[in-house]
Amino acid sequence: MTNNSEIDRYHSRPLDVHRWSDHPEATKLRDTIWNQYFKEKFLIGGQGNKAKSEPKKQFKILLLDLYVAWLDDPELSIGVGMSKSAYKTNSRYNSLFISSKIIDIINHAHAVGLIDKKTGSEALSITTRIRASALLTTVFEQADLSLFDMTQEYPNKEVIVLSKHELIEDKKKRIEVEYLDTDLESIPSMRQELHDYNALIWRCHVDIPTLDEPLVGQPYWDKKAQETKIRRVRLTQDNKFVRRVFYRANWNLGGRFHGGWWQNINSDLRKQIYINDRSTVEQDYSGLHINLLYGLKGIQPPLGDHYVVEHLLLDFTDEEQREIVKELVLMAINAKTIKKAYQSFVNEQPKDSRQKKLNHKTLELLLEAFKKKNPDIKEALGSDKGVELMHMDGRITAKVIKHFTNKNIPILSVHDSYITQNQYSAELREVMNEVVTEELKGFKINIKQEGIGSDQVQAFKNQDRANALDYSYDNVPSYKRTEGFKKRYKRHKEWLKKVYK
């Protein structure tokens, strides 16, 4: 599992400053390398936070994270800040008190040949990438330490995040904002609910059975490079952690749930997700933000398709035009002005695509057609309303997650859509209807569903709906399991027996 290729800075993830394990094998691994390469260079001492962040402890965090990255993929590198400003020892987002001392540890590890390094650029906002070298991987190969032996549920990792964007060296960056738990009465309960949820998801095996290796190459359009690139998404135990993020340093904006590899794959792959070796069904609110705007006006949302307007784009099919209208309208809801919405739409389109060639006048015709169909909410376009609506859909998702977590039933969220094992499809639909009706004070929203739940088959037949669709158990989602998937699931079950005896 060694790797001699050059570091690909785009195949990386940030350093996890919460990586920890008290497992004897983890301590043995640390001591073996520390005593040989670091003991004479770094002396341990100090009081208070200095003692908490002593070099040996920081080295263990770095070493274990390099080990986890190597377990996931020997080519995977870790992004690390190499300036003192990158580490705030008293931050709630750094509970293990990582300090700038880790920069010296990284440099020394590179000097003695334990890590490969690709230097970043502060001017370009690119962090340095590091990876276990061939020398270090020979040590890793002898270690009897699995990913499941690491911190099981990240009990000290902050899950409630207050964020904002700041201009740093003429570049817009999202930063995490410090806060007090007393700033908002609901913070402690939100945190506990999310800790409970993460603990449940950690215990569950979430995977795609058709994949022999838990890795997906997901194409995406890089606006800066103006080219399509491939983002490699790791479908691993270590890539399931979820946080709730509020925006613009304001507790009334945002509050969506972020994290979990399922949020970074397309809908076709999400259909194939298995939870604890059982197929799943995904359901989502149809046109949620449009419907929330109607609800805020005290109007029952129309039940039809909001994005279908008269056919104005002769070079596009009806479905293609619908997708363009949908993307444009959602951008207009999030934009501060209509002009910025038009520009954002054009900027997001792939180079040489037909959508890229649509001018502002044509986009205006489409948006006016949408306004004509939805006059009651037209003032919301170009009004920067999106972050408020995200606060509403964050509350909705919190209620859905809480319901199922309390019943020890795993559920995955992709903002306004939810994935459950197929036997809970009817219950999910019922809960989704209840919480959105509560949020909209009595109004309802259509719910779309991918696949048929096993619990719905007989229910639909009892309602004499079998003539409309073939509601049979044969149509409940099912996929062939690869040998790689079978091994991963077996390993997960063995770990559960070992940890939760």
CA gap 250, 177 in Å, rounded: 10
pLDDT range class, residue 51, cuts 50, 70, 90: very low
Per-domain boundaries in the chain:
1-151, 307-373
Q: Which residues are 233's β-sheet partners? A: 216
pLDDT per position as a tens digit, 337-395: 999 999 999 999 988 899 999 999 999 999 999 999 999 999 999 999 999 999 999 99
Token pair recorded at residue 162: 């207050």
Note the pLDDT tens digit of each residue in 170-228.
677 889 999 999 999 999 999 999 999 999 999 999 999 999 999 998 888 777 777 78
Q: Which two tokens stand for residue 294?
A: 């109607």
- State the DSSP code for 300: P
Q: Is the pLDDT of residue 12 over 90?
A: no
CB 457 within 8 A of CB 286: no
pLDDT at 122: 66
> If you average pLDDT over every residue of the chain, what do you get?
89
Lowest mean pLDDT among 16-25, 55-64, 451-460, 469-478: 469-478
Return the residue matching tokens 């003192």: 84
**Following CA atoms 366, 368, 373, 375 in sequence, which dihedral angle do they give, to the nearest 10 degrees?**
150
Give the count of alpha carbons within 13 A of 143, CB side only. 26
CA dihedral 269, 270, 276, 280 (to 10 degrees): -120
Give the pLDDT band (50/70/90) at residue 257: very high
**pLDDT reported for residue 49:** 45
Alpha carbon distance 351, 274 (integer Å): 36
Q: How much helix, strand and coil, in percent to the nearest 5, is found in the chain?
A: 45, 15, 40
Beta-sheet strands, E only, within 56-153: 77-80, 115-118, 128-132
- Whole-angstrom CA distances from 479 to 70, 272, 273, 280, 284 are 29, 7, 9, 11, 22
